[in-house]
Every structure is written in structure tokens, then in C-alpha cells.
Structure 1
Amino acid sequence: MNDAGDDDDDGGLPEYLGPPEFPPASATAQVTFGAQSRRGRARAINEDHYVIFRLSRHLETLLTSLPDKATVARFDEYGHVMIVADGIGESGTGEAASRLAISTLVHLVSHFGRWNLRVDDAIAQEIMARAERFYRHVDGAVTYQRRMNAALNQTTLTAVFGAGHDLFFAHVGHSRAYLLRDRHLLRLTRDHTIGRNGSTTVPVAPLMDVNAAVRDFKHIVTDTIGMTGSSGPTIDLERIRLDDDDRVLVCTNGLTDMVDESRIAEVLASEQSPSDQCQTLVDLAMASEGDDDVTALVARYRIPT
């Protein structure tokens, strides 16, 4: 009988190196994306900005004396990030803020991110702590530029990061993230407005009727990136578990002010591609004669079980 550290007869991995579940979900999950952003009728320019990008870890054997079963020819793991920022201000000052916020966050992830794509509880806490630090740095950058440049204002900032079965979100402002699962729409974020100030942050919150809120209160934002005269904004952070065929929407309030959540759910539950779903959602908002900019990002997750 071989010792625990001996190779198998076929030249494969030692038994103690064989994980119970391999490859991990971060290597087998498939994600398709769509994005659409359009200037509002009352806007001179579109003050929304967005980005979707992929993080990866890669191993590729270039040269070896080992037999095929004793090494790995190629192995890839992926994570994906969607970010939306809705600039607040007039005459383009919001556009500059949303652009700076996303650009700063992307550079922070590039320079200082630890791309943990296999998530356990300890790594999840590290991811959320790092996300909060990044958001504080983004807020500091926008606040500093506001002091130096009157042509820059404030912005919302909502980001989601998915790797395998895990989805994280970080959120400031009144843009939103939604999860559609089994045709049921769940709001992941709470609005940082006077009309929502009493709400609590939960991983998957029960739907509240968008149209039941007082519209004036919905637009008085209590927390933003770049707000001054305080210790900084409240940053909502949470982790949820993804299931196969989940759809995630990240959008600005230009969509949710004009389109009922029931209609949003219908679109996300359709068999349209994520790109077509984004197009449909933005078209619905514009057809409702909304004046605000509208941005919608959709991701569809296929995770083998």
C-alpha cells in the first residue's frame, strides 16, 4: 500500500491533494452581460457612467518533463465586476464626478486588489473590508477634487463582484442592484434618500413598491460619493450566494423612477439576451417620458451544479 504522499499508479495527483470539488465554480461558471446607457431628455450630456470587467487567475504549462496526468495544461478562474455611477449636479458637474469615481475604483482594484476567486467566510470578510477601503479612497478622491474644482460634484456608486457562487455588492446612493431568481425579483440595495432612510440593509430585501414612495423624498440623496461636511457616506456591503440562471441588474434611478418593478421583473425573466434586456429596459424608461439619464447593466449566471 502506498504512503499518503505517494503518486497514484497512473501518474496522477497524490490522494491528499485531491479536493472534494474541483474545478471550483469560479472556473466553470459562465456569465453573459449586457449594458445600455442613454442621455435623458432634460440633460445636455449623459452624467451616468458604467464599466464591466473581468478578473482572472491563469495557469498554463509551457514546458515540462511530467506526463500529462501529473500536471495541468491550462487552468483559468474568473470573477466579474459591474459598476454604475450616477453623477449628481448640473451643467456636467455630475458627469465629471461619476467618471472620476469609476476610474479611481478601477485603478484601485488593478493596483491593490487581491483577486480571491475561491471564496470562504474569511476571504469574504477580507473582500468586503477591502471594498469598503476602496470606497473610502474613492470618496476622498472625489471630495478632494470638489474642493479644487467647482466643475465637479457628487455621484452615486454601486458595484457588484461575482466569483463562482458568490456575489458581493458595495453601494452608496440611489442607484440599485436587483437579483432575479426563479422569476422573483429581489432588491439587493436600499436607497440612500430621505424617503428610504429608515430602511435596513439585508442580503436579499423584500420588494417595496417603488411607486408608493413620495417622489420628492426619493430624490433627496442622503449619502453620496463626494459629500462634504461629514465623516463620509454610509457604505452598504453584503454577500449573497448565486444560483444557476440568476440574473443581476445594476441600474440608475432613471430606470427605476419610470418603470415599475413588476415590469422590470418581466423583462429580466424573459429569454432575451442580457444586451436585449438592457435595451428593452432603457426603451421603456424613455417611452415613459423620463427626463433623467438611464443606465442598465444585466448579467446572467450559468453555474453548473
Structure 2
Amino acid sequence: MSLLQTVVGWFSGTSSAAGARAHAASSGSAGHALRDTNEQRRTVAAAAPWQLETGTATDPGCVRELNEDTLLLQVPGSPDAMRRHGVLAVVCDGMGGHEAGEVASALARDTIAAALRADDAQLPDALVHAIQAANGAIFDAGRKQSALRGMGTTCCALVLRDGAAWCAHVGDSRCYLLRDGDLLLMTEDHSAVMDMVRRGILSLEEARHHPDKNVISRALGSHAAIEVSSWNHPFVVQPDDVFLLCSDGLYDLVSDEDIRTVMMHGTPHAQVACDRLIALARERGGLDNISVVMLHLRAADRPAASPGATRTIEIMR
């Protein structure tokens, strides 16, 4: 039995473009660098009894020349901005060929960030609306430019605010949580293989090796309207929680046990853990682009970081 536990059925749902809800169980080219206005590894004071240690990494892998993944990490530098916006982490895995996947994932990343800044709605609605806006932007761009027709992307987005986490996703990019030594899967892939897992036909470990494991049933940009799976209720965080967002280039090659081990041994150095996860995926073939964002909530046992400007990490264009 896989050590990975799935808890998504406790608090997830699905949102369509029309706002309906149903309970559910549930980039750039090679060599592009990450841009960070401050140091890559940093501790940020948050509006809660914990501090945040973060890490990010993306890599084209060993087979593909183009990296169609994109990621985003926004960490407000002031208490007021933290209360209003919280921390935003996004991982997108683009598809479409001829750089169209790169365009789709970057468009999703940028649209989500902008939409969340402009939306006064409460979570999770604001996060769902932002992902739906990204879907519309990608779909419209594909209709207007023949070279981009058929492009799409997965998306997994996480917001940390007011001592709670909110997550929404489309496709098979994932959110994991390491808590008290247990690795928890916080999202369910939108795929036929994961549907078989949900129905008890396959185990998570069997799904990892299924020939259709990378065939997704939902992606941003594929249709004018999209269903977004989201947590219906806030997930209350606690000190030493570690969240990991990643594309399938990681978990297709790195086992649940190895992900857990790296996350356990990597804390409190989240960047070290991210770099190690990328290295493991490359050592095992690096068959796809690989992207990870890690957020470690540490007990606030030292003075808070000084307020500053919002820090943004993204793939350079």
C-alpha cells in the first residue's frame, strides 16, 4: 500500500463557469532562470503564529528542449498586504507544441495573479474566478491566433491567508501536504486514471504506471467554460505544515515515499528540498518538464521579518 494518503474528499468541490457547485472526492525555454527581487531562500513573517520558508524550482528535464511549465510565488512583504492578499503559489503545465504550451501556461499564471488582485470576492470564489478568467484568456487567444489553436494548460493554485489555506486546480498538477510525518494528497487529478482510483479499480501506485496516466480530462483553454475543483472550506494550517505544488514531471518519476523523505529532511531549507526533488526526477530520466513550489510554515520562534515590497518569483521571459 502506498504511504500517500488522500484527504481531498473531506473538503473539496467543483465550480463551473456558471458558479455551480458539486461535492467531489477530490515557462520558458530550457535554461531560463528564476527571477527573485530578494534571495531565493527567505523567511517571511505572516499574519499568523508562524513564519514562511519557501522554495521554487523548474527544469525542462532531460528529454525536452522547451520548458512549457510556469510557476509563480507571490509573498507580500508587509502585514497589511499579507492580510489583504495572502501568499499565492501557482504551478501550470502547458501543452500544445510549437511553444503554444509555453504561451498557455504563462497566460494562466499572469491572468490568475492579476485577477486575484482585482477581485474583492471571498475565497474560494476569488480563486475560482481567477482560474476561470485564465481559461477564458487562453481559449480566446487560441481562437484568434491559428498558431495557438488547441493550446492548454493545467493549473494548481494555493493561497495562504489568515492562518488558512485555499486551493483550486484544473488538470493533473498537484498539491501535497506534509503534516506530522504523513504525506497527504490534497487534490485529485482530472484524468480517467484518477477516476479509476476513486472508484477503487486502481491504487495510486498502480495509477502511476498506467499507460494512460498522462491523459487528462480537463485543461484550461480546451473549452469556453471550465469546471474548477476547489476546497469549499478553509484548511486551517498549523506550524510545521509543508505544502508542495508540482507538475506531473515530478510525481511520475519520484515515488510518494521519496517525495515525503525529501520534504521531511529538507525542512527548514525549502529551497534545498526543491532542488533535490528536481535532481531526483532528472536522475530517473527527466522525461517531462519538472516544476515545484514548496511552502514550509514554521513556528514563529524568532523576530518577524521587516516589512518590504511584495516579492515575486516567476519564469523570466
Question: Aligned ranges for residues 232-247 of structure 1 at < 5 Å?
Answer: 232-238=226-232, 239-247=234-242
Question: Aligned ranges for residues 142-221 of structure 1 at < 5 Å?
Answer: 142-152=138-148, 153-197=151-195, 209-221=204-216
What's the counterpart of residue 90 of structure 2?
Answer: 83
Of structures 1 and 2, the one scoring higher in RCO (CA 8 A, sep 6+) is 2
CA separation in 2, counterparts of 1:284 and 1:149? 38
What's the counterpart of residue 262 of structure 1?
Answer: 257
CA separation in 1, counterparts of 2:266 and 2:101? 35
Match of 1:31 among 24, 47, 52: 52
CA separation in 2, counterparts of 1:278 and 1:135? 25
Asked if the contact 1:172/1:192 (under 8 Å) is kept, the reply is yes
Q: Name whichever of 175-184 and 87-96 sits farther off.
A: 87-96
Asked if the contact 2:131/2:228 (under 8 Å) is kept, the reply is no
Q: CA deviation at 1:86?
A: 0.4
Taking structure 2 as the reference length, what is the TM-score of the superposition? Answer: 0.72
Structure 2 residue 159 is the aligned partner of structure 1 residue 138: no
Q: CA deviation at 1:190?
A: 0.5
Q: Which amino acid aligns with 1:241?
A: V
What's the counterpart of residue 295 of structure 2?
Answer: 299
Greater gyration radius? 1
Q: Which amino acid aligns with 1:246?
A: D
Structure 1 segments, 4+ long, off by >4 Å, are 56-59, 75-78, 211-214
Q: CA deviation at 1:92?
A: 1.4
Structure 2 residue 105 is the aligned partner of structure 1 residue 111: no
Supply the RMSD in Å over aligned alpha carbons.
Answer: 2.4
Query: CA, structure 1 residues 137+46, in 2 after alignment: closer, same or farther (shift >3 Å)?
Result: same
Q: Deviations over 1:49-86 (max 9, x none)?
A: 00100246656xxxxxxxxxxxxxxx974721110000
What's the counterpart of residue 51 of structure 1?
Answer: 72
Taking structure 1 as the reference length, what is the TM-score of the superposition? Answer: 0.75
CA separation in 1, counterparts of 2:220 and 2:145? 15
Query: CA, structure 1 residues 294+99, in 2 after alignment: closer, same or farther (shift >3 Å)?
Result: same
Structure 2 residue 209 is the aligned partner of structure 1 residue 227: no
- Secondary structure of the residue aligned to 1:216 is coil
Asked if the contact 2:132/2:228 (under 8 Å) is kept, the reply is no
Q: Which amino acid aligns with 2:58?
A: S
Q: Deviations over 1:15-62 (max 9, x none)?
A: xxxxxxxxxx72543101000100122322110000100246656xxx
Asked if the contact 2:82/2:161 (under 8 Å) is kept, the reply is no
Structure 2 residue 95 is the aligned partner of structure 1 residue 97: no
- Secondary structure of the residue aligned to 2:72 is strand
CA separation in 2, counterparts of 1:36 and 1:127? 27
Query: CA, structure 1 residues 110+56, in 2 after alignment: closer, same or farther (shift >3 Å)?
Result: farther
Q: How many residues align?
A: 248
CA separation in 2, counterparts of 1:100 and 1:271? 31
Identity %: 26
Q: CA deviation at 1:277?
A: 0.1
Uncovered stretches (5+) of structure 1, i.e. residues with no partner: 1-24, 60-74, 115-125, 201-207
Query: CA, structure 1 residues 96+76, in 2 after alignment: closer, same or farther (shift >3 Å)?
Result: closer
CA separation in 1, counterparts of 2:165 and 2:210? 30
